[in-house]
Structure 1
Amino acid sequence: MENQKNDNLNLLEAVVQNTEMGKNTLEQIVPMTEDAPFKAELLRERNIYRQLNQEAHTAIEACGGTAQGQSAMAKLNTKMGIGMKTLTDKSTRNLAEMLSEGSSQGVMDCIKSQKDYPDAAPGSKRLMQRLQDFEEDNRIKLEQFL
């Protein structure tokens, strides 16, 4: 029983961290683009990251836990990495490539988390699967901007 609770909270925390990464990244990148269709896609993605993030927070609280989220260091590393990669190139193609790579990493993180926490509750597993499907869908949608 305790293992199931730990797996459940750990899987939900992985959803929180993954969605925070996506949400924070998009908040930094959206202002960099003037491409209207691209910006619309980024805003759509950001809104879904926010929604999934909120669902994970709610589920963690329902289990009596508290979400940790991304560490300050992880946020800073991401922010600086984006800053470096966009210093000289803020083209739609470069931004789409960065985000596509991020979504691919997100898919891999989802898969690893599901294998790491096999005893998580079915609802938590479904939320993680929705996030994985969303990340894969993002990657495919972003390809049109490459």
Structure 2
Amino acid sequence: MENQKNDNLNMLEAIVQNTEMGKNTLDQLVPMAEDEQFKAELLRQRNIYRQLNQEAHAAIDACGGSAQGQSAMAKLNTKVSIGMKTITDKSTRNLAEMLTQGSGMGVVDCIKSQKDYPDAAPGSKRLMQKLQDFEEDNRLKLEQYL
């Protein structure tokens, strides 16, 4: 029972961290996007990251846990990395490439979490699968802008 609770909270925390990374990255990149269709896609993705993040937070609260989210260092590292990659190139292609790579890493993180936390609750597993499917869909949608 204890293992199930730990796996469940760990999986939900992984969802919180993944969705925060997506939200924070898009918060930084949306203002750089000039192509209106591309910008609309980024806003759509950001809204879904927010929605999934809220679902994970609600589930953690329901389990009596508290979400840690991304560390301040992880947030800063991401912000600096994005800043460096966009300092000379804010083209749609460059932004799409960065986001495609990020979604690919998100998919890998989802798969690892599913293997690392096999005793998580079915609802948490469904939410993780929903996130993984969303990340894969993002990657495919963004590829058209490469």
| CA RMSD, 1 decimal | 0.2
1:17 match: 17
User: Which consecutive segments of 4 or more residues in structure 1 shift more than 4 A?
Assistant: none
* Alpha-carbon separation, structure 2, partners of 1:108 and 1:34: 29
2:141 match: 141
1:50 match: 50
* Alpha-carbon separation, structure 1, partners of 2:121 and 2:38: 36
Gaps of 5+ in 1: none
TM norm structure 2: 1.00
1:99 match: 99
Gaps of 5+ in 2: none
* Alpha-carbon separation, structure 1, partners of 2:9 and 2:125: 11
TM norm structure 1: 1.00
1:26-65 equivalence runs, <5 A: 26-65=26-65
Query: For 1:86-116, what per-residue CA distance to the aligned partner results, in whole angstroms no more than 9, with x for missing partners?
Result: 0000000000000000000000000000000
Q: Quick check: 1:85 aligned with 2:85? A: yes
* Alpha-carbon separation, structure 2, partners of 1:72 and 1:46: 20
Task: Kindly tell me the number of residue pairs found equivalent between the two proteins.
Answer: 146
Instruction: Give the match's secondary structure for 2:88.
Output: coil
* Alpha-carbon separation, structure 2, partners of 1:58 and 1:68: 13
1:126 match: 126
Q: CA deviation at 1:34?
A: 1.2
Q: Residue type matched to 1:93 in 2?
A: R
